[in-house]
Structure 1
Amino acid sequence: MDLSNPAKNMLRYFSISNPNFCLNYLKSLVFPTFSPIPILNYNHFHLKPTSNPSYLFVSSTGSSSIYSIRHPFSQSSQSSHFKNCNGRRSQRLELGLFTSRSYCRHISSSLTVSYSRNFQFCNEGIDTFGPYATPKQVSEIIQLIRDSDSEMESKLNSMNVSLSTANLIEIFRVLNCDKVRALRFFKWIEHVQPELYDNFDICSLVVDNCGRLDDYEEMRALLEEFNVKKVCLTEKAFGFLPVMISSKASTRKHIRRVVKVLNEVRGSCRVSGVRALIEGFSVLGSFEMARYVITNTEKKVSYYNILIGQMCRKCDFKGVRDLLDEMRQIGCEPNSQSYNYIFSSLFKKGEDDGACNVFRDMLEKNCPPDAVTYEIFIHNFCRLGKFSVASQFFDDMVGRGIQPRPAAHAAFIKGYFNLQRYKEAHEYVVGSADKYKNSSNMMYSLLASLHDKNRNAVMAKNILLEMIKKGLKPNISVYRRVLKHLQIADREDMASSLASGLSSLSLHSTKESV
């Protein structure tokens, strides 16, 4: 009985990590009725996109991310949390022989075809049981698709290569530029590597392929299928629009056709598709067309905020002012996020006075600032060394009943530290730790970390011991790093003192819990 090289590699791996699996696998080849791995039901696993909360400086959304995953059958897989190719968390899979959080939906379909095609994952840099396609093989695949050979699928199978996300994106980009129909290849991917079939960017490129071929019926059918899987479109879905347009009238015509399809299919594709359209035109600087999309869909603040964000990146502040006036005229009041884009851009240009003027205008227009608004001002004024002004914004935030988040405290600590005002940084931590207990561990740990990175492990140790005496547990990574640097500097006495302090704190916490 001959086995393919990928299958041999798989057997070698499992013969070490799980001899029983290896034995059962061989039995399954000799006795087809024996099934060592239960066939998985695709419907058992309902995947939901994870949220990506924005941080201090809000950025426009729309594009998806590809996350790296570790090998699903490693020894640490049972305790690790994996994400599939779309950054979505998989539910726990009970596979009988082992338990894994990896993305394994495709195993059931491929087991009955060939063991050498199992366990193919889309992410770069992970262990696989099959080589990734070389640039030459990618070119051969593109040519096979061009030829539209009746045996295309079998020829692709015979190549016995894995396709990475980057491979597929390159293939679809070439096919789309040359207006070569790619749907048949996309369906082949669904059966061979379904984890790639669900990738948001790849799904979007297939929609783009339909658009370039002016096949809106096929586009509608695809979007309905994507809705079932909760696929969210990215800006790659509508790359055909700038290519096909020759005038404003032509552009509006194509926009209406796309919007009509999105309105018909609704669901996740409609929501993400409209945002992708607006963002795509905004990135290109075609704000008029972006406004036209909003006019033909829905006049929402979140849609206008996409335009505001892109205008601020291009420093088109006059355009932003006109857009704010336009929003108010139609009863679509700007919100704090609208202004946060402006504040961030003004500070980046060094116009802190201008940011303060816009802040006053924001209050006059009865638009309440949020925590991010205040963090932008506090961060930038601390960076500039204007701590009195930063404190005024901090006090105003507290006065409005907004609880300071860790980012606000970190701005003061880093601001003082970067200006080598170490005493004031320490005084801020001591003065704020008791008042804002939810952030006290973070503040002490941050200050210790900054001293340690400044090659002052002794001071970092003192900060950690100070917080330990107050019953605060330091950030474990900061603690370990400081301990290591003390040991490297031959300060074993200090390292021992720090370790004893943390040990006594842990022991005290254990007694209290009992």
Structure 2
Amino acid sequence: MARASPTKVAPDLHTYTKIIGSFCSMGQLDFAFAGFGLILKKGFRVNAIVINQLLNGLCDAKRMGEAMDVLLRRMPEFGCTPNVVNYNTLLKGFCNEKRAQEALELLRMMADDGGGSCPPDVVAYNTVINGFFREGQLDKAYGLFHEMLDRGILPDVVTYTTVVDGLCKAGAVSRAKGVLQEMIHKGVKPNINTYNCLINGYCTSGQWEEVVRILKEMSTQGQRPNVVTCNLLLDYLCKNRNSTEARKIFDSMIGKGIQPDVTTYSILLNGYASKGDLADMHDLLDLMVADSISPNHQTFT
């Protein structure tokens, strides 16, 4: 394209942005920065979109120091003001590296900016809250959730689901239940992922009666179980040596339009194996093959 111009269509900023993004996704950062150099050489005005491609590449390569330098120093030098997407890219990069505290410091920088040029949004808070939960820092995650509310940033379904999931995984299922109730009270409708997180929490803590209650509540909120829901129920029942009831749920899935996956079959196979029900195992394997579900390592184990 470049050699054919000006008589043909010449590459523009959008062309270079696509190429840079492709190189970054391939981990070829040297070529990506070479493409960025061509943008400067051609005299195109740099924007936040093209630089975000580089930020993504640097974060994927775990080069967070360089990403911070591009965001805070190089972008202003190019006359390009960082936007919330650029900041969120780095927040995600830090959290992926289990560096949620550094992500929090960057979030504070956004929130405390005197000019208010780039205040954090709900995505920024969701990212850092999730980062703290993944690192097992329950109090910091929950505290940041309340800080978000104090700053007047309205949580969305992703926020609430993240908090419910994090609390459940930390064994604080009662607090998670309270968050769900608050969510509904605030007019944010839980989705199937929200309910699955709570069901997993109750199953892990052995509260089957609460699982049944949540399933009924799901129905009143217009949410239908999916394959993840069924797998959670099957796993609980099989671990409690109730493969007969688990099989009833398995058989009812098709009637409800829920397609079992390889995890579904593997869970039930494990339930049969723990009881030594070899005939049922072989029948289920035949059904699995007929259903064109390929076994994985878990299945063979």
Residue 194 (structure 2) aligns with: 408
Give a deviation string over 1:455-507, Cα, whole Å, max 9, x none. Answer: 64312123356778xxx615232698399857x64469x99xxxxxxxxxxxx
**C-alpha contact (below 8 Å) 1:381/1:389 kept by paired residues:** yes
Distance 1:318 1:464 in 2: 44
Matches within 5 A, 1:415-494: 415-429=201-215, 431-442=216-227, 445-451=230-236, 454=239, 456-464=242-250, 473=256, 475-477=258-260, 481=265, 485=269, 489-490=278-279
Cα distance in 2 for partners of 1:478, 1:288 equals 45
Query: What residue number does 2:15 align with?
Result: 227
Whole-Å Cα distance in 1 between the matches of residues 209 and 172 of structure 2?
A: 17
Contact 1:336 1:368 in 2 (8 A): yes
Q: Which runs of 5+ in 2 are unaligned?
A: 285-301
- Aligned partner of 1:396 in structure 2 is 182
Query: Which position in structure 2 is the counterpart of 1:207?
Result: none
Shift of 1:298: 3.8
So what's the TM-score if we normalise by structure 2? 0.67
* 1:377 and 2:163 correspond: yes
Q: Structure 1: which amino acid aligns with 2:202? A: Y
How many Å separate the matches in 1 of 2:194 and 2:35?
43
Preserved contact between residue 467 and residue 474 of structure 1 (Cα < 8 Å): yes
CA gap of 1:339–1:318, structure 2 versus 1, over 3 A, is closer
Name the % identity: 18
How far apart are residue 409 of structure 1 and its match?
0.8
TM-score by length of 1: 0.42
Structure-2 separation of matches of 1:239 and 1:453 = 52
Is this contact kept in 2: 1:294–1:303, CA < 8 A? no
Deviations 1:240-275 (A, max 9, x none): 699xxxxxxxxxxx9995653587398xxx776321
More helix by percentage = 2
CA contact (8 A) 1:410 1:446 kept: no
Shift of 1:391: 1.3
1:288 and 2:69 aligned: yes
CA 1:241/1:462 → structure 2, altered by over 3 Å: closer, same or farther? closer
Taking the aligned partners of 2:200 and 2:43, their CA distance within structure 1 comes to: 48
Query: Secondary structure of 2:220's partner?
Result: coil
Deviations 1:155-182 (A, max 9, x none): xxxxxxxxxxxxxxxxxxxxxxxxxxxx
What are the residue-to-residue correspondences of 1:279-358 with 2, within 5 Å?
279-281=56-58, 283-284=62-63, 285-286=65-66, 287-295=68-76, 296=78, 297-312=80-95, 313=97, 314=99, 315-317=101-103, 319-325=105-111, 327=113, 329-358=115-144
Shift of 1:419: 3.0
Name the aligned partner's letter for residue 439 of structure 1: R
Query: How far is the alpha carbon of 1:317 from its aligned partner?
Result: 4.8
Give the CA deviation at 1:381: 0.8
The letter of the residue matching 2:258 is N
Kept in 1: contact 2:13–2:39 (CA 8 A): no
Equivalent residue, structure 2, for 1:144: none
The secondary structure found in structure 2 opposite 1:233 is helix
Give, in whole Å, the separation in 2 of the partners of 1:418 and 1:311. Answer: 30
Which structure has the larger Rg over C-alpha atoms?
A: 1
In structure 1, give the amino acid aligned to 2:73: Y
List, as ranges, runs of 4+ consecutive aligned residues in structure 1 with deviation greater than 6 Å. Answer: 465-468
More deviation in 315-324 or 335-344? 315-324
Distance 1:258 1:330 in 2: 33
- Aligned counterparts of 1:375 and 1:473: Cα–Cα separation in 2: 25
- Tell me by how many angstroms 1:442 deviates: 5.0
Q: Which residue of 1 aligns with 2:30?
A: 239
| Count of aligned pairs | 258
Helix, strand or coil for the counterpart of 2:154? coil
Q: CA RMSD in A?
A: 4.3
